[in-house]
Amino acid sequence: DLHTSIDKFQFDNVFMNASGVRCYTKGELDELAQSDAGTLVTKSATQAKRLGNPSPRYARLELGSINSMGLPNEGLEYYLDYALNFQKANPDKPIFLSVAGLSMEENLAMAHAIEDSDFNGLVEFNLSCPNVPGKPQTGYDFDRTQEVLTNLFSFFTKPAGVKLPPYFDLAQFDQMAAILNQFPLKFVNSINSLGNGLMIDPETDTALIKPKGGFGGIGGAYAKPIALANVRAFSQRLDPKIQLIGTGGVTNGRDAYDLILAGASLVQVGTLLQEEGPAAFTRLTRELRAVMQTKGYSAISDFKGQLKVL
Ligand code: DHB
The three-state DSSP-derived secondary structure of the chain is: CCCEEECCEEECCCEEECCCCCCCCHHHHHHHHHCCCCCCECCCECCCCECCCCCCCEEEECCEEEECCCCCECCHHHHHHHHHHHHHHCCCCCCEEEECCCCHHHHHHHHHHHHCCCCCCEEEEECCCCCCCCCCCHHHCHHHHHHHHHHHCCCCCCCEEEEECCCCCHHHHHHHHHHHCCCCCCEEEECCCEEEEECEECCCCEECCCHHHHEEEEEEHHHHHHHHHHHHHHHHHCCCCCEEEEECCCCCHHHHHHHHHCCEEEEEECHHHHHHCCHHHHHHHHHHHHHHHHHCCCCHHHCCCCCCCC
Q: Establish whether residue 71 lines the binding site of ligand 1, counting it when its CB lies within 6 angstroms of any ligand atom.
A: yes
Split at pLDDT 50, 70, 90, the class of 196 is: very high
- The rounded mean pLDDT for the chain is 98
Q: Report the separation in Å between the CA atom of 71 and the middle of ligand 1, taken as the mean of its atom positions.
A: 5
Mutate to test the pocket of ligand 1, among 69, 162, 190, 268 (most ligand atoms within 8 A of CB): 69
Task: Give yes or no for residue 111 having a pLDDT over 90.
Answer: yes
Identify the pLDDT of residue 130: 86
Tell me what percent of the residues of the chain surpass a pLDDT of 70.
100
Give distance in angstroms: CA of 166 to centre of ligand 1.
Answer: 14
Please tell me the predicted confidence (pLDDT) of residue 132. Answer: 85
Q: Does the annotation mark 129 as catalytic?
A: yes
Nearest CA to ligand 1 atom 7: 129
C-beta of 73 in contact with ligand 1 (< 6 A): no
Instruction: Say whether the ipTM exceeds 0.90.
Output: yes
CA 132–ligand 1 middle distance (angstroms): 8
Q: pTM, whole model, 2 decimals? A: 0.98
pLDDT grade for 146, boundaries at 50, 70 and 90: very high
